[in-house]
Structure 1
Amino acid sequence: MRRRTLLGAASPLLIIDSGPPPRPRWIHAWTAAPQLTERHNLPPEPFTALSGTTLRQTVRVGLGGRGVRVRFANVFGAGDLSIAAAAVAVPDGGRAGAVRIEPGSSRPLTFGGERGVTVPAGAQVVSDPVDMAPAARANLTITTYLREGLDGGLTSHPGSRTTSWLIEGDRHADVELPAAVPIDHWYLISGVEVLTTGASALVILGDSLTDGRGSTTNGNNRWPDLLQDRLRDPGLAILNQAAAGNRVLRDGLGPNALARLDRDVLAIGGAARLLVFAGVNDLGTTVASEAAQRRVAAELIAGYRQIVVRARACGLRTFGATLTPFGGNIYDDLAGVRETARQSVNSAIRGGLFEGYADFDEAVRDPVAPWRLHPGFDAGDHLHLNPVGHAALAAAVPTRLASVPAGSAR
């Protein structure tokens, strides 16, 4: 803000010149962390390599805006990914997982003005802008046609909790896809951006507890979705960058959180805050001895510190979430050694390791037996949460952690 003083015959007149209005910018409104597709998560025959295949998928954007761009990922590809054609549309009835699109809503995606694009191995590409104005928390349909298949290394997000559809031939602009084959995974897509003003994003780094295990397929009731619904902030996107089976310190189902931090958080357009809810898998996959658990707890706390340092260097404020109980799960041990390590980690999170924290442990633990989940929140395996449990996590995030002042996005 600039101040100018005009001197008159009577008294000085102060005029505040706020300068030009903020310019619209591209902000991520939806993301899914790219993962290498395991054999049991590959598309079924005859679509395994996606050769000659139309793939229709739906995603829910957290922000509205004027203009849409779609990001395609070949992060784990063994060779080039050739997209012959793609389009974005409104799903039938606005429903997640719909195979049909609203007539007249389909808009072709182009790449540098071209209908198709080749995505090199290890890379991602962003489409040209499309003149489309989705509302906040609306579902979009992304349809892709691949004339040539992949030789290996299909990039996906298996934990989509959303139905996608496969059909042979180029049907990317069709309203109906009769006899299309359903599959509950996302493939090739990793982000949707919208053009908007004064908006930003809260990115969540996590594992299957955030990815939505235990939530309802096509229900959009993972706890990050429910947090978006609870806040109803038109200037804030809640971006879910969780990966099932993920660990903070070591690779498991995909790269560890420290390794993917740059790609999945720090490179996200519009990111202003980060919430870290990960570490259960680090404890659960480490030997249940006192020495091993003390070591992994200390390493986990050090890993959190590294995340904070790196995020701050990129202008993000960073928050943590306490680790939820797993008593009765296969991660549990009769001696309670892993529970002691969990409490140690949670004490560090509550003690100022981050700029603030959400106490997820307190929100979903059984008050009678705090080492296990409240029975009403348990999805059945004593680790993951049912939709009621996801709602409890969404309610436990303090508003001040999620609220980002307008214009603070990078």
Structure 2
Amino acid sequence: MARHDLTDWIIHFVHRRNPENDPLEFSYDFEDFEYIPHPDGFTYDGEPFVLTNKYEEDDYGLAPDDYAICVLQKILHDGYVRAGWSYRRGTPTIYGPKAAVCFTEMPLYGLIEYAKIRADENYTEQYGIAFLKDELFLAGARPVIYGLSGGHKEAKESDLFYGKGLRTLASECGIGLREQFRYVYTKLTSFKKIDWTHEREWRWADLEQSFDFPGMPIFAKNDKITFSKIIVIVKTTEEVERVIEQLKNLYHSKSTNHGREYNLKVIENTYVLSLDEVAKITKDPNLVKLDDLPLSSIPKIQKIKVTAETIEKIKIAIQQASEIFYNESEKFINEHGEKAPCGWSHVVTWESNTEITQALVDLGFANSYADGYYYINGLKSYPGQSIDVDEAGAKAAAEFLTKELGQKFSYHSRFD
């Protein structure tokens, strides 16, 4: 149907993190000084379960009020869009036993305009991840249900559905537990009107508890859901470059630092669209849809050709850097001894989308762990335990590689 308000793409909004609506932030027991495990979902018998790995969350280091671009990059790193309970002022708005991922069927121009109107970075911003509607439907996402044929009634203690989630509809409402995640409370009366129908919302939930992480996979390798292509939406051209660098790093890493494998084919087919650039692609940015934009005009990661000359240059440079690392470490320990705490220091680079980095990866001289760094292998340090001994060698080797290869290298240390 040739209606301009219809689109083949459905978008997941990404907004700034809001600690008031984040269960990991307000489920803290101040008497015992520890986090209370917050349920990521419930079985249909009402048993809560937790899939969130608190260690992984802390290890990534997202701030409680981090910006939307940082939240977006964490989603890409994790490889899945987190399902949640859509808290508003501390109250969940998702009904039933299954947390949900939320999307909008608004065309791109509608999303941009809506974000401007709401102007609240805690709920709506011009960042997102777009999926093809038919593929998202196949993955299990469905349009929401706005309101009920009868009245809104929540389950009380005597009800069959009571306690089967953080918040459930009464069984007499006619929506079973499997479909309650789709329900949106709607009240189209003049008194205390509640109307979210303009959001044209879709939702996804892990109805069969198919995944060992709390959300819908995008890059996370699995045998149930995959996408032929996705579009990541950011505001600026600089953020496009930032996300492309990250995607290349994820591609090289092949998995998170905690072992969750990536679907490399999906990463290869992830496009990154800057809203600043939309006006250059289309004649009418005020009515633009993702369907109108040729994918060939939107950046994605590219394969980098490595020349034989670069390969040989790197082999020689790594050998020389190894000698420098060892000699400088030996010199330091002879002059200063070992007085610092135990630890290690690695030569690193964080430039992922270059011929030099690609060659280092191809030759096995660099490993990455989806954290943005490439750790340089094959450098021999003087045997010692003090972290400052390793740092002396790593600093000198990094300075040499920076000068020799024309790319910035540094060093990254950690205590034992």
Q: Which category of TM-score, normalised to the shorter sequence, fits these structures?
A: under 0.3
TM-score, length basis structure 2: 0.25
TM-score, length basis structure 1: 0.26
Structure with greater strand percent:
1
